[in-house]
Amino acid sequence: MYTNLLFQSFFYLSDNFLMIIDSDGNFKKVNDKWKELGFSKEELIQTPFVNLIYPEDQAETKNFIAADEFSNTASELKNRLVSQDGDILLIKWRFLKIDSTEDIIAIGKDISDQTRQQLTYEAFTKDLKEKSKKLEDLFELSEDLIVIANADGYFKKVNPKWIEILGYSEAELLSTPFMEFIHPDDRSKTTTMVRKQMEGTTAIKFENRYQTKSGESVWLEWNATSVDQTGDIFAIARNTTAQKKQKIREQATLKEVRAKNKQLEDFAYITSHNLRAPVANIAMLTKFLEETQLSEEQEKLTKLLTDSTRILNQTLHDLIEVIQIHNKDNTKLVEVSLEKIVKEVTNQLSGEIMSSKAEITTDFSDVSIVRYSEIFLRSIFLNLISNALKYKSPDRKPVINITAKRLKNSIQLTFSDNGIGIDLEKYKNQVFGFKKTFHNNIDAKGLGLFMTKSQIEALNGTIKVSSTLEKGTKFTINLNL
Amino acid sequence: MSKTKETFCVIDDDLIHQFIIKKMIAGIPADFEKNVLVFSNGLEAITYLKNAISNHDELPDIILLDINMPIMNGWQFLEQYKSIFPSLNKKITIYILSSSDNPHDIARVKEFKEVSGYFIKPITENELEKLMTAI
């Protein structure tokens, strides 16, 4: 009686699935554990055990029970139970036949969690292996040079790129202090960098040269390195030799171009000088010739000779000015008084101003001082004022108005005249061209406006023109400040 | 006391220029005697100046100096001139008269305080007359 009570207590207290089934496999008795599957005892009793088994496992379970191999000793079976909600539990069973009744007693342990953990662990290991394989592939196939070096100054591991680029075998690379592979001129800075690494700095874009087995230099750019707790350095370098060589070639080309440019400039000066000397002589000789007794025809020819010589001389002068536009001395910025510039220029042009009775008015009330290249500013004023005088209308007294206004980021200068105007329809794209003239004026050399534009643009300014034939022309200049 | 004589010294290898300058100087009206010394390079000129160093009458008042010349160019002449300058018995005014408008040349003139001005050829009669009367 007591034994029976004890048995009953164990039966109900157990956290395992306990059951007694008859020899046909129907439930005779179950404990409370089964309730967790969502079935009451009443529902289960007299129904076949296999009904609760996952379909795939049913055949095996039936065979196991039929085989009746657990008459004397307990026998084990694993199968899956399906709850009323469809959950699946993996159960490890121990079966034993009670001889007297032919009933079978079985204890089932839920090993779902345990199995799941096992599966997770296996998946994790597999994943790790794959990742490791990927890393290995990256290491093996990388176009970059990857290395692990130790604190003693030796490489511990190099990827095949090292062997390909430096031409040493892996054994050679690992058995020689790595400093010996570095170009002697770069060893000291590399030592400094390695020491900084040890102190925890991360190298970014550190460059040095390695030497290949055949003695060639290879430029490496170290982009990321770090030190782990063992003192090892992990580093990745890119071979930048091609870019470096390209850069060196570019610099050499640039140097050559500069030298050529200097040569051309010198050539221009020498040519100008050598041409100017005889031109100056011709000018003077022609002048002497004018002072002698000449026939009417000779006098005419001498006059033409004088004009040609003067134009030739002026052209030589202008050519030199064009060469000098980008000369540093010319582009030096200083405080310049606009009033002073106008005074100087009108003095220079006083002959033409007097003979044409030209009136020059200015309005510098908004801006009187500008910070600009004095040489350029004087040249701009000279060219635009003499241009206005040159293209005056024969029908009216020339009036030239010059204004200066402060805009947001620039100073705007305007030069307007009441001259003959430029046919912009026809010459739109040629106004500021080199050697372009729009009138049959013997003095028009066309360099003036080209120079003016070049001088303004050399300091990032702009010049625009508007004009009406027989009314006048207006130049608008923006000087960037 | 007004001057009675003025001596120009032209240092230039260009024979035509020598002729022109001589003719121009001769053509400028003046109430004093005008002399022109002509040398074809710096060496000829400096040799003359060294020999005449204490002879006030033989030394020029004005030197018109070209830059590009064979044997001894204008710069080399100026270097030599510096060394004889303290023992010269006369104030001599030097002008560069060159066809070079190379800014390097123009800038370099500033290194020589002995040089009073820079003219680019051709010099006009007006300018020449001013130089003459400035003495």
CATH of the domain at B128: 3.40.50.2300
Percent of chain B residues past pLDDT 70, beyond the cut:
98
Collapse the DSSP code of A319 into the 3-class scheme (helix H, G, I; strand E, B; otherwise coil) and give the result.
helix
A329·B103 Cβ contact <8 A? yes
Q: Which residue of B has its CA nearest to A316?
A: B101
Instruction: Tell which wins on pLDDT, B99 or A434.
Output: B99
- Residues from B contacting A (CB-CB < 8 Å) are 14, 16-17, 20, 23-24, 68, 98-103, 107, 120-122
User: Across the strands, what pairs with A182?
Assistant: A210
**CATH architecture of structural domain A2-110:** 2-Layer Sandwich (3.30)
pLDDT at A413 over 60: yes
Residues of A in contact with B100 (CB under 8 A): 269, 273, 276
Instruction: Tell which wins on pLDDT, A319 or A376.
Output: A376
pLDDT at B50 over 80: yes
pLDDT band at B96 (very low <50, low <70, confident <90, very high): very high
Domains in chain B: how many in total? Answer: 1
| Residues of the domain holding B30 | 5-134
CATH 3.30.450.20 segments of chain A: 2-110, 142-239
Cβ-nearest to B99 among A273, A288, A324: A273
B16·A317 Cβ contact <8 A? no
Classify domain A245-324 at the CATH topology level: Methane Monooxygenase Hydroxylase; Chain G, domain 1 (1.20.58)
Residues of B in contact with A277 (CB under 8 A): 14, 17, 99, 121
- Burial of B4-42, coded b for 16+ CB within 10 Å and e otherwise, reads eebbbbbbbbbeebbebbeebbeeeeeeeeeebbbbbbb
Cβ-nearest to B103 among A273, A277, A327: A327
Instruction: Tell which wins on pLDDT, B93 or A119.
Output: B93
Q: What is the pLDDT of residue A262?
A: 78
Q: What is the pLDDT of residue A434?
A: 54
Torsion sign (Cα): B18, B22, B28, B31: positive
Digit-coded pLDDT (tens) for A119-170: 888 888 888 888 888 888 888 888 899 998 887 889 999 999 999 999 999 9
CATH 3.30.565.10 segments of chain A: 329-480
Strands A399-406 and A359-363: parallel
Question: Averaging pLDDT over each range in A218-232, A271-285, A379-393, which range is the top one?
Answer: A379-393
Residues of A in contact with B121 (CB under 8 A): 276-277, 280-281
pLDDT band at A327 (very low <50, low <70, confident <90, very high): low
Question: Averaging pLDDT over each range in A60-69, A333-342, A419-428, which range is the top one?
Answer: A333-342
B122·A327 Cβ contact <8 A? no
CB atoms within 10 A of CB B106: 14
Burial-class residue A225 by CB neighbours within 10 Å (0-12, 13-18, 19+): buried
Name the strand (E) or helix (H) holding B90.
none
Classify domain A329-480 at the CATH topology level: Heat Shock Protein 90 (3.30.565)
Total residue length of chain B: 135
pLDDT at A415 over 50: yes
Q: Which two tokens stand for residue A231?
A: 């003192």
Q: What is the pLDDT of residue B107?
A: 84
Phi and psi of A460, rounded to 5°? Answer: 65, 25
CA nearest neighbour of A332 among A368, A373, A369:
A373
Digit-coded pLDDT (tens) for A42-68: 889 999 998 899 999 999 888 888 877
pLDDT at A417 over 80: yes
A288·B120 Cβ contact <8 A? no
C-alpha distances out from residue A49 to A18, A25, A39, A46, Å: 12, 6, 12, 9
pLDDT at A259 over 80: yes
**How far away is chain A from the Cα of B114, in angstroms, using its nearest Cα?**
24
What's A184's DSSP letter? G
ipTM, 2 dp? 0.75
**How confident is the prediction for chain A on average, in pLDDT?**
85
Q: What is the pLDDT of residue A476?
A: 94
Q: What is the pLDDT of residue A444?
A: 43
Q: Does domain A142-239 have CATH number 3.30.450.20?
A: yes
Residues of A in contact with B122 (CB under 8 A): 280-281, 283-284, 313
pLDDT at A440 over 50: no
CB atoms within 10 A of CB A266: 12
Phi and psi of A296, rounded to 5°? Answer: -60, -40
Instruction: Answer for the pair B8, B36: CB distance below 8 angstroms, yes or no.
Output: yes
Q: Which residue of A has its CA nearest to B121?
A: A280
Averaged pLDDT for residues A201-216: 86
What's B109's DSSP letter? G
**How far away is chain A from the Cα of B41, in angstroms, using its nearest Cα?**
16
Q: Which two tokens stand for residue A348?
A: 């220079």
Q: What is the pLDDT of residue A438?
A: 47
**Can you tell me the distance from the alpha carbon of A317 to that of A309, in angstroms, rounded to the nearest whole number?**
12
C-alpha distances out from residue A234 to A158, A218, A228, A293, A427, Å: 10, 20, 8, 98, 68
Residue that is written with structure tokens 């794209």 in the block: A429
